[in-house]
Amino acid sequence: MKPLEESDVGITSYISQLPGFRGILKQRYADFIVNEVDIDGNVVHLTSLDAPPESVENNETKLSNQSNKGYASEIELFRSLAGDSDAECLKGLIDQVVSGIEDGVSPIVLSPNSDKAHRTAMHNFFKENLKFLVTDTIDGPDASSKSIRVRLNSGGNHNNGRNSRKRKERGGKPFDSRGSDNWSEHVGKFLRFHLYKENKDTQEAIGLIAKMLGVQPRSFGFAGTKDKRAVSTQRYVYHEQKVTVFKQHANRLAALNERLIGMKVGDFCHVREGLVLGQLLGNRFTITLRGVVADSEETIKASAEALGRLGFINYFGLQRFGSGSVPTHLIGAALLRGEWEIAVSLILDPREGDILLLLTNL
């Protein structure tokens, strides 16, 4: 199928009387740079990767105090429960913790296990023997198995489980697993930062960072989404969820910069409220066109001047008609006409290059 052109979808004329010119858009990631404009009109730029000095009074129990305690007996007990491979993974995690490397300690994922009773026994092992670690269950490599993830309990009281504190012990307040009991009232619970990313859409970037931190992607809030085929700088915030994101500080995110590929985070500060979709004025675009074809250089200059003087109608372009082998406007037209079989065929029928079509022709 030939590439889609403007005339195929009814785009037949320019706004101005100028002849216009053609060029290649988004040939490289850096050809399309998007900077978010926040609600105050500030263009977001990543300027610093360093975490600011922590001024928060930290009354939490420091895990470094555990460094004098050996965990050989606990590891051997776990070995009898989970096997050599998982025991060695656990030993490596504990070694990092007791050496004082509290920030940047990555979670470990134990071997897949389809036995729910055995997984329950392993969860209980950590609750009873290694209270400074917490566990949860995540999907395994196949539908029939699950895996246990083990991570550092960054909350203040490592000896208390979720249900160990009764309501009267909490002063009548409902249970809140979002943050540390010792979080200062003078510091905002949300950590705001700027995210720089290349060739990743917003959800993919958030998913990667969340996985490295060992938290849920929904812990993040953002004002707008950004395309994959672009370089963008965007402002994000942690928002209220039941994961332990509020117990983390800027230095933990800053430590990720050494491991992030095509992404950087920085310009950290604590704020009272999290961002939500739509909480921005817009975006600033820096666009590079390559392979420009025009009848003269004067035409290009005149077109650029007209764009700057008159602006443009932000209506639609070819990007609104899909990027697959069947343009989505044809499917939409069939649906509007009630031609259900045609619409289904446009979506499901094998097309040139499909593996099913290739196998059929063999």
Q: What is the pLDDT of residues 237-268, one digit of tens each?
A: 422 221 224 455 788 888 889 998 888 999 88
Over pLDDT 90: what percentage of the chain? 16
The model's pTM: 0.53
State the DSSP code for 297.
H
> Which are the contacts of 342, defined by CB distance < 8 A and separation ≥ 6?
334
227 counts as catalytic: yes
Confidence (pLDDT) at 352 = 67
If we measure between CA atoms, which residue out of 321, 303, 309 comes closest to residue 23? 303
CB atoms within 10 A of CB 227: 14
Q: With residue 152 as reference, give the H or E element that holds it.
A: strand 146-152
Q: Annotated catalytic residue: which of 227, 267, 295, 349?
A: 227
- Predicted confidence at residue 279, as pLDDT, reads 83
pLDDT tens digits along 1-21: 567 777 877 777 767 788 878
Phi, psi of 148 (to 5 degrees): -100, 130
